[in-house]
Amino acid sequence: MMTQAFYTGISGLKTYSEAIDTVSSNLSNNSTIGFRGRSVEFSNSFEEMLAQANSPSSSINSSVGVGVSVSGTAMNQAQGELILAERNTDLAIDGDGWFSIQGEDQTLYTRAGNFNFDANSDLVTDDGYYVLGTMANNIENDILTKVVTEVPLGEMSVQEKLRFPNTLTYPPTPTDEVKFFGNLGVEDIPMKMSGGAIDPQNNRNDISISFTLAAEQPALGTVWEAVAVAQSLDGETIYDTQSGTISFAEDGSFVSTTLTTINNNGEDVALNLGSGYDGLIAVNGVDQSSSSSSNGTPGGDLVGYEINANAEVIATFTNGYQSSVGKIAVFHFQNDQGLAEVSASKYQATSNSGEPLFSTDENGQNILGANVVNYRLESSNINVATGLTELIIFQRAYDANSKSISTANEMMQKALNMDA
């Protein structure tokens, strides 16, 4: 029995030493972003049954434990607190899931979303791992090929490093229609209206129309002569000049025009003068007025990238327009407990965790499966008070096992002295 006390005490020292190490690691990572603590699970090494000759059917437990060991450590999967961060590239997963990051030779998973764009405009972690997701595939030769509001999450096989060009151009969409509004009246008072137009070279030009009352008027209604000019804003370059007439009914509503288009430095622009009372009118007794509207989009250069609350990587341009160019993926596992810890906040998939997978909606489309919050980071999920309490308990248990070895040693010495 004294030998058994040695074995029991030694196994206790080893076991509670591991437990103290685990709790100490938890407490030391209390400030580590995305850290998930671990709890220690114990088991008996084996037990010895005591003989019960007089009462073999007794319900009293007559076994004696002869050792304890750590059977494993379990990941604490409680959500850590979402704390305020300074960057829109700082992200937190509110719910189940993991970000995937890639180093030189391995793919890891983390809850730490302290990301940023590096000098090459690649989305990376603070320690240089590349963040994985779905590219929008709307960039070609550093030119945005189409505007995307939301990128659908691709299949697992197409998840890749989110890499974006340092320079990106939003190409212009030339104006192909200018619409004019206003009242010309019925008196011979010349009038001029202007509208802006974007040409294929991304220049902002002016399209103006000058109106004069025609010398010959019909019995009913009015006719105006119009001259349209497409020119640069400074007026130094004239691209085209067109003329025609505009007819109005007796009630002042628009009837017809022979002035239909003008060329704006290589782009034909439709001159929309209206229909009925929508557009130009010629009404007596109402002050003359004018306004215009045009389509087309000016080109722009990249201002920078940012991340929105839907995990979309958004490119912003100097023309004020934006487009999604990629989406950060959120991965899930059949068994999160099976993930192997690589560092304080990084994990690796194993046969126990299963392969990573995506959540899907009712239509079978891949979705994030959790809310991604920007300007937030998930703090460690360690409860300091609980950790300190466990540390005290394990330290006392360690001391008790140490004491049991000392006691067994004293008993052994006395037994040896008795024999002497």
Give DSSP secondary structure letters for 9-54.
HHHHHHHHHHHHHHHHHHHHTTTSTT---EEEEEEES-EEEPP-SS
Distance CA 204, CA 103 (A): 46
- Looking at residue 50, what is its pLDDT? 47
Looking at the chain, how many residues does it have? 420
- Looking at residue 316, what is its pLDDT? 97
- CB within 8 A of 408, min separation 6: which ones? 2, 5, 6, 9
Distance CA 374, CA 93 (A): 9
- Looking at residue 101, what is its pLDDT? 97
Both tokens of 361, joined, read 């909606």
pTM over 0.85: no
Distance CA 339, CA 168 (A): 39
- Looking at residue 25, what is its pLDDT? 79
Distance CA 227, CA 205 (A): 17
Distance CA 366, CA 328 (A): 12
Residue (of 382, 379, 383, 378) closest to 330 by Cα position: 378
CATH architecture of 177-294: Sandwich (2.60)
346-348 and 107-110 strand pairing: antiparallel
The ranges assigned to domains in the chain are: 2-77+381-419, 82-170+301-378, 177-294
Both tokens of 120, joined, read 């090459």
- The pLDDT averaged over each successive group of 10 residues in the chain (420 residues) is 60 70 81 86 57 52 59 82 93 96 92 94 94 97 95 94 95 97 94 96 96 94 97 96 97 96 97 96 90 96 92 95 97 95 93 95 93 94 81 74 69 67
Q: Chain-centre distance of CA 272, in angstroms? A: 42
Classify burial at 109, counting beta carbons within 10 Å of its beta carbon; exposed 0-12, middle 13-18, buried 19 or more.
Answer: buried
